[in-house]
């Protein structure tokens, strides 16, 4: 039997070579390989690692681990750290990277203290910094296999690295099984988002060709294979590398079964009895099993064990690792374990659990709780699995793996009814576990899981005995239903309120605090204010500072939604001051977020910038930069963009996105970046940022501010691309959701772009001599605008712009300019100046039009608003208005007077001379093609020529169009 050979994969190797070239220049790269089970992903990565190791790269290999309960949190991180400690020594990492002690705390076997980073982001920062430091010495290859088993925290880390790694000679190569990804698998959206990032390449492995199969079989057999065998292997394997290997190696041993199960297990079943027992034991142990753990559980002496392992590795069922063994293919391990009788599997799981409990040093300390839980669970020893699962959940929570914590507690709760005296064994009350799991799922952004847990808890709780806990669960349920955009949010909070007369004041206040938010979000400002005021008063009476700050902040936010801005700001500033006096940075950040929002409603951008920056500082210091920090960054970027500091806004958003904010937190930032890119005319950037925003916005999320902003941008993009029907459809779909408490900031831009779309549609219809059916759309926009507030400088500016767009006689475009100038927003002011120029031209006031155009182009150029700048220049060219500040618009030449051409005919003649068709001329001058035809006929008659070409030549010859 020959050694395994590596064949094919030229496309993937070229991709790696290209990435390596960029890595050597200091640009980190990420390559993701996907493919079906056995297609050769792991073999490809091993080949790449071997080749790059020969070139001097440092190789850090790891894999995501599936243990049956849940994927092990941050398994690739701990594997890499453990290998580095083994290679460099424990003292080397702190010397290399100050602060690495926190990372070493993930390896309890070192005796390091538990890490206590202020947030998961700090842990991610340290790991990224470690990779950068290592790459300064020599380039680094980080290999991560079995990405389909990655836990939420590992996916978050990889996304963070892909977004934040800069100036580092690091190549990360990952692989996942495509056939493990069902429609709802969490890896799907992760990969979709990852692929859009710069420096990320993705490739799916196809099956081998017949020639490649022939090469593979020849290598395995150490001799050229007969044609019939190649044909048989190629036909049966379908080009799958693993299946082809199995078929080739089975030649001469007997008939190869058709089913995959038998195919995979054939070589296993040919092993000697002792080797077969060890392989089956290893299959139950997991993907990788330490040698000492196998020795402790195999029941063989050292010589017998080594003989058995040698037999298993000789036929390539197992492969030796640094400290243990792994199956040559993960699927082979799974099928070997699945081939055991249930009682056999349970017996082997029990053997592992007993051995690990007797000697915990048999497994890495960070995997101890998870391994014990997994094996007692697999053994069917529920009374032992349950406390182990609780400990495993606590470990997951301690490293901020909230999604995994919630999943493990769910498994614990499933076992609970089968375990007598479960509360004593676990050390926890069952309902306490429910509340912990709900909080973990909510923190992880898994609202559907949280809702399921809440409903299970409510089904079990005795409401009469525990009205307080019931009320808290119901209030939380209302908020969760709102987040999922499902019916029943108000019903749930109403049920919570009904229980409040019987609960203690502290619980009552915390429930009312949440109830107020739900009422406000669902468009019930009156009850929201009542609930918030009562919560604040209860908190004050109790002297509970934390509760008081929360309640006052909620009250201030509700007052802002109601338009009581002075009262809102006073309440929010008092809450922020109280939080600051007690050094409660999280609540300082929340108060500043709401202060910034209130100032946004007013259009007080300089003060808004100050508030958002103060809140960001508190958020970063308190470890909530990915959530509250992202919202504060969005407020900061909105204010910076509004005052024309687009570069600063992009820089601030980039910094915030480096923290990898999840879901709507990141979507808001991407939407802001898309808006700036749209104004700058950066089409590719607009598409990229919008795609990222859509990816992060859940399809079932409530149609709140960010969703409205994204829809409005989609409509504006469609307008720019002249897709009027698409633009109209986007506005029409969003209008019903734009009427709600606190949505004016996003509803006003929506209706103003909506009326711009209708204006454009009417002009296009007139040019094409068609009737337009947009009156109903305009009426709908009017109806929404009539319900929006107009009592702040910002909202007055929007209202004036809307009125001018629909041609209201009481509002002129100069009025709109004045309103936007008063707010201090140069971009909408520049757009209004362009419209004022158009209005002046419409009444023949060319000098006034030119002054408006000069001001508009100056603002647009200063901002870098290329699209707007080009629109201004286009109008100036078509109107023959010079944009040289020293020039004056020329009067009509004597020749033009002599020929009797009107101003409109001169405009048409200019465009005829440029070779424009009647349709093109009509679109530019907003007149119908039929009217253009009449003008052209008049021009030909007045110039005494017979064709458009003669008219153009005459105009140039006589310099009729000069200037």
pLDDT-wise least confident of 237-246, 402-411, 533-542, 607-616:
237-246
pLDDT given at position 116: 45
Greatest Cα pair distance, the chain, in angstroms, is 116
Beta bridge partners of residue 445, listed in sequence order = none
CA distance 12 to 452: 43
List helix spans (H) across 768-917: 775-786, 793-805, 813-823, 826-842, 846-863, 866-878, 894-899, 903-913
The first and second tokens of residue 786, run together, are: 């009539």
Higher-scoring residue by pLDDT: 111, 719: 719
The first and second tokens of residue 596, run together, are: 């910034």
CB 49 within 8 A of CB 61: yes
Burial class (CB in 10 A: 0-12, 13-18, 19+), 116: exposed
CB 446 within 8 A of CB 406: yes
CA distance 311 to 274: 9
List helix spans (H) across 562-704: 565-581, 585-602, 605-622, 628-642, 646-657, 663-680, 683-696
pLDDT given at position 256: 41
Most confident stretch, 86-95, 481-490, 856-865, 891-900: 856-865
Using a CB cutoff of 8 Å and minimum separation of 24, what contacts does 933-941 make? 935/904, 935/905, 935/908, 936/908, 936/912, 938/905, 939/901, 939/905, 939/908, 939/909, 939/912
pLDDT given at position 793: 96
SS3 category, 419: coil
CA distance 230 to 212: 10
The first and second tokens of residue 490, run together, are: 């108000």
pLDDT given at position 69: 42
Strand bridging mode 324-327 / 318-320: antiparallel
Taking residues 504-509, report their average pLDDT: 93
pLDDT given at position 102: 77
CB 260 within 8 A of CB 254: no
pLDDT given at position 319: 85
CA 210 to chain centroid, in Å, comes to 41
Q: Residue 423: is its pLDDT beyond 50? A: yes
Confidence band, pLDDT 50/70/90 cuts, at residue 364: confident
Residue with tokens 């739900």: 518
Q: Residue 257: is its pLDDT beyond 50? A: no
Q: Residue 516: is its pLDDT beyond 60? A: yes
pLDDT given at position 477: 96
Q: Residue 306: is its pLDDT beyond 90? A: yes
pLDDT-wise least confident of 63-67, 143-147, 392-396, 721-725:
63-67
The first and second tokens of residue 210, run together, are: 């017949």
Around Cβ 30, how many Cβ atoms within 10 Å? 23
Taking residues 215-228, report their average pLDDT: 73
User: Tens of pLDDT along 441-465?
Assistant: 876 667 788 999 999 999 999 989 9
pLDDT-wise least confident of 277-286, 554-563, 706-715, 938-947:
938-947
CA distance 560 to 574: 15
CB 660 within 8 A of CB 696: no
Q: Residue 800: is its pLDDT beyond 70? A: yes
Residue 317: name the closest of 383, 265, 241 by CA.
Answer: 265
pLDDT given at position 449: 86
The first and second tokens of residue 955, run together, are: 């105009």
Q: Mean pLDDT for the chain?
A: 86
Taking residues 672-690, report their average pLDDT: 87
Most confident stretch, 276-290, 434-448, 470-484, 602-616: 602-616
pLDDT given at position 353: 95
Radius of gyration, alpha carbons of the chain: 34
Around Cβ 874, how many Cβ atoms within 10 Å? 11
pLDDT given at position 1: 46
Predicted TM-score (pTM) of this structure:
0.62
Q: Which residues of 696-727 are buried (b: 16+ CB within 10 A; e: fewer)?
A: bbbeebbbbbbbbbbbbbbbbbbbeeeebebb
pLDDT given at position 601: 96
Give the E-state strand segments of 804-882 in sequence order: none
């Amino acid at each position: 039997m020959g050694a395994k050979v590596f064949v094919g994969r030229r496309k993937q190797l070229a991709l790696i070579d290209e990435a390596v070239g960029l890595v050597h220049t200091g640009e980190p790269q990420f390559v993701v390989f996907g493919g079906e089970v056995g297609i050769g992903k792991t073999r490809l990565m091993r080949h790449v690692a071997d080749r790059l190791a020969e070139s001097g790269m440092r190789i850090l290999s790891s894999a995501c681990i599936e243990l049956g309960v849940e994927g092990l949190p941050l398994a690739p991180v701990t594997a890499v750290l453990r290998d580095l400690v083994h290679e460099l020594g424990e003292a080397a990492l702190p010397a290399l990277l100050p602060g690495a002690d926190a990372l070493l705390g993930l390896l309890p076997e070192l005796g390091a203290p538990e890490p206590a980073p202020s947030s998961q982001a700090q842990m991610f920062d340290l790991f990224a910094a470690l990779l950068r430091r290592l790459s300064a010495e020599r380039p680094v290859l980080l290999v991560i296999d079995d990405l389909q088993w990655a836990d939420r925290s590992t996916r978050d880390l990889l996304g963070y690295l892909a977004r934040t790694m800069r100036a580092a000679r690091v190549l990360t190569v990952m692989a996942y099984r495509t056939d493990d990804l069902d429609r709802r698998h969490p890896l799907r959206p992760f990969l979709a988002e990852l692929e859009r990032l710069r420096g990320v390449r993705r490739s799916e492995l196809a099956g081998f060709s017949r020639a490649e199969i022939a090469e593979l079989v020849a290598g395995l057999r150490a001799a050229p294979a007969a044609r019939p065998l190649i044909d048989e292997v190629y036909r049966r394997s379908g080009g799958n590398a693993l299946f082809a290997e199995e078929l080739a190696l089975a030649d001469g041993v007997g008939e190869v079964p058709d089913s995959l199960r038998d195919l995979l297990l054939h070589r296993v079943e040919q092993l000697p009895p002792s080797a077969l027992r060890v392989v089956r034991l290893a299959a139950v142990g997991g993907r990788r099993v330490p040698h000492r753990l196998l020795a402790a559980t195999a029941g063989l002496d050292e010589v017998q064990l080594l003989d058995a392992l040698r037999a298993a590795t000789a036929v390539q069922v197992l492969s030796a690792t640094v400290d243990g063994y792994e199956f040559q293919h993960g699927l082979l391990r799974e099928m070997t374990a699945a081939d055991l009788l249930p009682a056999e599997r349970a017996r082997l799981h029990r053997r592992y659990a007993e051995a690990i409990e007797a000697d915990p040093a048999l497994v890495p300390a960070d995997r101890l709780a998870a391994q014990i839980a997994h094996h007692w669970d697999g053994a069917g020893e529920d009374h032992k699995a349950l406390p182990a699962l609780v400990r495993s959940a606590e470990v997951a929570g301690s490293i901020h793996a909230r999604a995994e914590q919630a999943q493990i507690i769910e498994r614990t709760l499933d076992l609970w009814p089968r375990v007598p005296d479960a509360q004593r064994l676990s050390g926890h009350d069952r309902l306490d576990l429910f509340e912990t799991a709900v909080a973990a799922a909510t923190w992880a952004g898994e609202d559907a899981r949280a809702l399921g847990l809440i409903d299970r808890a409510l089904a079990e709780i005795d409401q009469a005995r525990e009205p307080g806990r019931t009320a808290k669960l119901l209030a939380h349920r209302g908020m969760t239903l709102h987040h999922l955009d499902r019916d029943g949010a108000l019903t749930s909070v109403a049920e919570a309120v009904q229980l409040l007369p019987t609960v203690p004041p502290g619980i009552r206040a915390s429930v009312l605090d949440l109830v107020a938010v739900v009422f406000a979000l669902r468009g019930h400002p009156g009850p929201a204010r009542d609930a918030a005021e009562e919560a604040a008063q209860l908190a004050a009476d109790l002297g509970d500072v934390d509760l008081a700050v929360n309640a006052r902040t909620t009250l201030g936010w509700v007052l802002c939604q109601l338009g009581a801005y002075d009262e809102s700001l006073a309440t929010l500033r008092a809450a922020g001051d109280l939080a600051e006096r007690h050094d409660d940075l999280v609540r300082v950040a929340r108060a500043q977020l709401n202060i910034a929002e209130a100032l946004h409603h007013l259009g007080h951008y300089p003060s808004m910038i100050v508030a958002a920056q103060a809140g960001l500082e508190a958020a970063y210091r308190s470890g909530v930069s990915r959530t509250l920090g992202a919202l504060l960054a969005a407020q900061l970027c909105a204010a910076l963009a509004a005052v024309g500091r687009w570069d600063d806004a992009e820089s601030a958003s980039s910094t915030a996105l480096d923290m990898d904010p999840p879901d709507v937190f990141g979507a808001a930032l991407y939407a802001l970046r898309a808006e700036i890119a749209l104004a700058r005319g950066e089409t590719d950037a607009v598409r990229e940022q919008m795609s990222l925003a859509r990816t992060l916005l859940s399809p079932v999320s409530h149609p709140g501010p960010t969703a409205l902003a994204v829809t409005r941008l989609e409509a504006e993009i469609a307008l720019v691309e002249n897709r009027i029907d698409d633009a109209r459809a986007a506005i029409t779909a969003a209008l019903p959701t734009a009427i709600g408490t606190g949505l004016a900031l996003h509803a006003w831009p929506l209706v103003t772009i909506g009326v711009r779309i209708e204006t454009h549609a009417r002009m296009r219809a007139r040019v094409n001599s068609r009737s337009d059916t947009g009156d109903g759309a305009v009426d709908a926009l009017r109806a929404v605008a009539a319900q929006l507030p107009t009592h702040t400088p910002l909202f007055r500016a929007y209202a004036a712009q809307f009125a001018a767009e629909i041609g209201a006689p009481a509002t002129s475009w100069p009025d709109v300019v004045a309103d936007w100038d008063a707010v201090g927003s140069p971009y909408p002011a520049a757009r209004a100046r362009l419209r004022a120029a158009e209005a002046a031209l419409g009444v023949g006031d060319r000098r006034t039009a030119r002054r408006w155009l000069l001001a508009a182009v100056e603002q647009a150029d200063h901002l870098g608003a290329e699209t707007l700048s080009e629109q201004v220049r286009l109008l100036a060219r078509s109107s023959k208005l010079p944009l040289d500040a020293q020039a004056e618009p020329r009067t009509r030449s004597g020749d033009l007077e002599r020929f009797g051409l009107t101003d409109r005919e001169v405009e048409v003649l200019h465009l005829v001379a440029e070779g424009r068709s009647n349709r093109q001329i009509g679109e530019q001058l907003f007149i119908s093609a039929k009217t253009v035809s009449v003008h052209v006929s008049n021009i030909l008659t007045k110039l005494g020529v017979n064709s458009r070409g003669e008219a153009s030549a005459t105009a140039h010859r006589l310099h009729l169009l000069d200037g």
